[in-house]
Structure 1
Amino acid sequence: MKTRIEKDCLGEMEVPDNVYYGIQTMRVMGVSGLLGEKVIKYPYLHQCLFQMKKASALANKDVGALEAEKADAIAWACDQALTGRYDDQFPLDMYQGGGYTCVNMNVNEVIGNLANEYLTGHKGQDAIHPNTHVNMGQSTNDVVTSAEHLCIYPALDKLAPELDKLAEAFAQKALEFADVIKVGRTCLQDAVPLTLGQEFGGYAEFCRRQAANIRSLREECFSLIVGGTAVGTGLGAAPGYQEAFYKHLSAQLGEDVKSATDLFDGMQNDDFCVKVSAAVKQAACGISKIAKDIRLMSSGPRAGLGEISIPSLSPGSSIMPGKINPILPELVSQVAQQTCGNDVVISMAFEQGELEISVWAPTLYKNLFESFDLLTKVIPLFIDKCVSGITANREKCAQEARETIALATVVAATLGYPEGVRVAKYAQQHNLAVADAVLKMGVMTKEEADSLLDPALLVNPERMAEAIAQWKAEKRHA
Structure 2
Amino acid sequence: MATRIERDCLGEMEIPDDLYYGIQTTRVMGVSGVLGEKVIKYPYLHRALTQMKKAAALANAEIGALSPEIAQAIAWACDQVLTGKYDDQFPLDMFQGGGYTCVNMNINEVVGNLANEHLTGHKGQDKVHPNTHVNMGQSTNDVVTSAEHLCIYPALDLLAPELDKLADAFQGKADEFADVVKVGRTCLQDAVPLTLGQEFGGYAEFCRRQAANIRGLRDECFELIVGATAVGTGMGAAPGYQEAFYKHLSAQLGENVRSTKNLFDGMQNDDFCVKVSAAVKQAACGISKIAKDLRIMSSGPRAGFGEITLPSLSPGSSIMPGKINPILPELVSQVAQQTCGNDVVISMAFEQGELEISVWAPTLYKNLFESFDLLTKVIPLFIEKCINGIEANRERCRKEARETIALSTVVAATLGYPEGVKVSHYAQEHNLAVADAVLEMGIMTKEEADLLLDPALLVDPARMSEAIAKWKKQKGKL
Residues of 2 paired with 1:52 and 1:80: CA distance? 14
Partner of 1:341: 341
The alpha carbon displacement at 1:153 in A equals 0.2
Q: Write the letter of the residue equivalent to 1:256.
A: N
Residues of 1 paired with 2:456 and 2:321: CA distance? 39
The alpha carbon displacement at 1:447 in A equals 1.2
Matches within 5 A, 1:381-400: 381-400=381-400
Q: Write the letter of the residue equivalent to 2:173.
A: K
Matched, 1:432 2:449: no
- Secondary structure, counterpart of 1:194 in structure 2: strand
Q: Write the letter of the residue equivalent to 2:41.
A: K
Residues of 2 paired with 1:318 and 1:14: CA distance? 57
Partner of 1:411: 411
Partner of 1:289: 289
Partner of 2:124: 124
Residues of 1 paired with 2:417 and 2:289: CA distance? 33
Deviations 1:61-106 (A, max 9, x none): 0000000000000000000000000000000000000000000000
Partner of 1:473: 473
Residues of 1 paired with 2:111 and 2:236: CA distance? 20
The alpha carbon displacement at 1:443 in A equals 1.1
Deviations 1:210-259 (A, max 9, x none): 00000000000000000000000000101000000000000000000000
Q: Write the letter of the residue equivalent to 1:168.
A: D
Residues of 2 paired with 1:476 and 1:431: CA distance? 31
The alpha carbon displacement at 1:367 in A equals 0.1
Residues of 2 paired with 1:297 and 1:8: CA distance? 64
Partner of 1:164: 164
- Secondary structure, counterpart of 2:247 in structure 1: helix
Residues of 2 paired with 1:425 and 1:376: CA distance? 50
Residues of 2 paired with 1:304 and 1:384: CA distance? 25
Instruction: Say if 2:415 and 2:477, in contact at 8 Å, map to a contact too.
Output: no
- Secondary structure, counterpart of 2:185 in structure 1: strand
Partner of 2:212: 212
Partner of 2:229: 229
Residues of 2 paired with 1:278 and 1:146: CA distance? 19
Residues of 2 paired with 1:443 and 1:472: CA distance? 13
Instruction: Say if 2:307 and 2:396, in contact at 8 Å, map to a contact too.
Output: yes
Runs of at least 4 residues off by over 6 Å: none
Partner of 1:361: 361
Instruction: Say if 2:281 and 2:339, in contact at 8 Å, map to a contact too.
Output: yes
Partner of 2:251: 251
Matches within 5 A, 1:437-452: 437-452=437-452
Residues of 2 paired with 1:216 and 1:385: CA distance? 29
Partner of 1:25: 25
- Secondary structure, counterpart of 1:476 in structure 2: coil
The alpha carbon displacement at 1:338 in A equals 0.2
Matched, 1:379 2:379: yes
Deviations 1:375-430 (A, max 9, x none): 00000000000000000000000000000000000000001101101100110111
Alignment size in residue pairs: 478
Instruction: Say if 2:411 and 2:419, in contact at 8 Å, map to a contact too.
Output: yes
- Secondary structure, counterpart of 1:333 in structure 2: helix
The alpha carbon displacement at 1:477 in A equals 8.2
- Secondary structure, counterpart of 2:95 in structure 1: coil
Superposition RMSD on alpha carbons, in Å? Answer: 0.7
Deviations 1:269-290 (A, max 9, x none): 0000000000000000000000
Residues of 2 paired with 1:64 and 1:364: CA distance? 36
Partner of 1:8: 8
Partner of 1:138: 138
Matched, 1:152 2:152: yes
Residues of 2 paired with 1:250 and 1:332: CA distance? 37
Residues of 2 paired with 1:195 and 1:79: CA distance? 55
Q: Write the letter of the residue equivalent to 1:463.
A: R
Residues of 1 paired with 2:232 and 2:273: CA distance? 19
Q: Write the letter of the residue equivalent to 2:434.
A: V
Residues of 2 paired with 1:127 and 1:295: CA distance? 64
Residues of 2 paired with 1:121 and 1:94: CA distance? 32
Residues of 1 paired with 2:339 and 2:389: CA distance? 26
Residues of 2 paired with 1:390 and 1:304: CA distance? 16
The alpha carbon displacement at 1:444 in A equals 1.1
Partner of 1:317: 317
